[in-house]
Structure 1
Amino acid sequence: MRQFARRFQLWPSVALASAVAIGPATAGEANADAARLANLVRQDCGSCHGLTLKGGLGKPLTPDHLSAWSRDQLISIVLDGVPGTPMPPWRPLLSEADVRWIVERLQQGDLP
């Protein structure tokens, strides 16, 4: 249990470093942004949802599993987190446009 608690104590530092590395998305950098966001999902989200995104500590991020929620619900979950669970809010680190891109790709099963 202590290892679990320690792992989540490091999350804010890791997330902040990831956000600085990612930076805001702009229209002129669409391909670079797609690669950066896909990498964020695989690395940061994958650390809890499984590196294949088929589940781990967090629920699967597969199209079948995500079909229970609307796009707007999923965007809200990512931006605001889920209180009482390890799912953190990403609003301080990602724009709504970035999260919309991520959610759309996850729903389609089309993450580069």
Structure 2
Amino acid sequence: MRNFWLLSLLSASVFADEPSPQRQQELINLLKHDCGSCHGLPPKGGLGPSLMPDALAPKTDAMLIEVIQKGRAGTAMPPWQDFLSITETAWLVEKLRQAE
């Protein structure tokens, strides 16, 4: 079942359009305020791990998208699937990989 979810996640993120410019701004705000509260500003780590490009490099997009969507049991990382589409999550992962 998990592999099916990953395959559908990958195909959805590869073929989906980008969020609208307004939604992109909302996502950047969410990244700064919600994600930044645990991962730090800049997101070099804190309660949550670093989200800097070098820390994310060994991780696949599919793994990062799954963690954001589903959360991590036993940690402070909540699931965001009720608030973020897979397309939006993939867009955020792309932005995190480009961060300077």
The TM-score range, normalised by the shorter chain, is: 0.7 to 0.9
- Matches of 1:53 and 1:39 in 2, distance apart? 13
- Give the root-mean-square deviation of aligned CA atoms: 1.8
What are the ranges of 5 or more consecutive residues in structure 2 without an aligned counterpart? 1-16
Could you report, residue by residue, the CA deviation over 1:45-85 in whole angstroms, capped at 9, with x for unpaired residues? 00000121111110011000011210111000100011111
Corresponding residue number in structure 2 for 1:92: 82
Relative contact order: is structure 1 or structure 2 higher (C-alpha 8 Å, sep ≥ 6)?
2
1:56 maps to amino acid: G
Give runs of ≥4 in structure 1 deviating > 4 Å: none
Gaps of 5+ in 1: 1-26
> Could you say which structure has the larger radius of gyration?
1
Is 1:103 aligned with 2:93?
yes
Partner of 1:23: none
Aligned residues: 84
